[in-house]
Amino acid sequence: MNFSRFVFASIVLSPLHAETIYTIPQGYTKVTIAAASSETEPTTTGISVTLLNDLDFSGSATINNDHAINPGNSTQTLAIAGQNWSPGQWTGQPHLAYIADADGGEEAFLVSSNTSDGQLTLLTTFDLLGDKDSGTPGIQNRFPSSTTVKIRRANTIGSIFSSKIGEFSADDRVFVWDGSEWLSFQKNGFGNWALASNLFGNENDTVIFPDEGMFISRSATSAIELTLFGEVPAVPQISTITKTKLLSTRIPVITTLGALGVNDNLWKSDDRLYIWNGSNWDAYLVNGFGNWAPANNQFGNSNALSIAANAAIFVNRETEVSGTEGIISAPLPYDPLSE
């Protein structure tokens, strides 16, 4: 580790948020779930988990041209030569495959199966080799066929809240957006997370993707402070938003509305981004000057609006775009370290 770069990065990162402490590249961040205002007035807090779990595998990969649309999901395979994996090695516990694009960013996909000779089957919503911008002449593959892949354990609703499960009340709720509606989870009588519609279930292994936010409705009048450990992202984290999504900030430091990477040439005037202000959603749009502005003041400029670390932002595209066109990526606001 280059000591001078370590000191520089620590100085740059640490002052950005008083509640966030880093040891580069590993660190931890504190996320507070606000206490209820009273026993009859629950409080809502939007959070995301931006630190990455430990690296379990890294190597070169080939994306196969075998995208298949199946009922309820679609899949695509990656081939990693020279591996001797146990069948199901990456699915006993949920794992994510982070695939690098041509610009050096990475996007995470859930591993649905693997073979002993190094083939991964991923759940996808689009063809990984598809044209990433239909308005650009020629073909720009969303991902190059020869790329790199990193495998990490996925965060789940159980793993995120496991250390604090005893502090959640039976009336607290965790809301996750599934693309069309809010799924409501609560702690059941067995100490597991379950859907509010099926309290005898066990949803501890529900995956919370690194680009996905959550909302917590807290009914108890005491706050919960989560301490989340992991690796600080060293490359831009890509998201895909085709219609609606509760978006993670994807980085563990304070950022701004203009730096979220949401405003690109595919963003339309009727699209909206919503930020929870503690009691209501504030709506923002891109105005005729190319700036973010409050929906009720289209001549404003909110590019510098502060977005808290580990926050959650609701994004809505008025007109649905293809999966290969829904790229949301932003440069890192810090200089990552290298060995």
Q: What CATH number belongs to 55-153?
A: 2.40.30
CB 238 within 8 A of CB 106: yes
Domain extents in the chain? 1-51+155-339, 55-153
Range of weakest confidence among 53-67, 118-132, 193-207 = 118-132
Note the pLDDT of residue 90.
97
Cα separation, 259 vs 303, in Å, equals: 8
Q: How confident is the model at residue 286 (pLDDT cuts 50, 70, 90)?
A: very high
CB 235 within 8 A of CB 331: no
DSSP-based three-state secondary structure for 17: coil
Q: How confident is the model at residue 139 (pLDDT cuts 50, 70, 90)?
A: low
Cα separation, 81 vs 62, in Å, equals: 9
- Whether the pLDDT of residue 118 is over 70: the answer is yes
**Per-residue pLDDT tens digits for 222-281:** 999 999 999 999 999 999 999 999 999 999 999 999 999 998 777 888 999 999 988 899
Neighbours of 316 (CB within 10 A): 14
Note the pLDDT of residue 337.
58
Cα separation, 323 vs 339, in Å, equals: 35
Neighbours of 30 (CB within 10 A): 15
Mean pLDDT along residues 202-222: 96
Q: Is 81 exposed, middle or buried (0-12, 13-18, 19+ CB in 10 A)?
A: exposed
Q: Identify the helix (H) or strand (E) that includes residue 281.
A: strand 281-286
Mean pLDDT along residues 50-72: 94
pLDDT, greater one: 244 or 324: 244
pLDDT, greater one: 66 or 130: 66
Mean pLDDT along residues 165-190: 94
- Whether the pLDDT of residue 13 is over 80: the answer is no
E strand spans, 34-181? 43-48, 55-63, 68-70, 73-79, 95-100, 106-114, 119-124, 146-153, 173-177
Q: How confident is the model at residue 8 (pLDDT cuts 50, 70, 90)?
A: very low
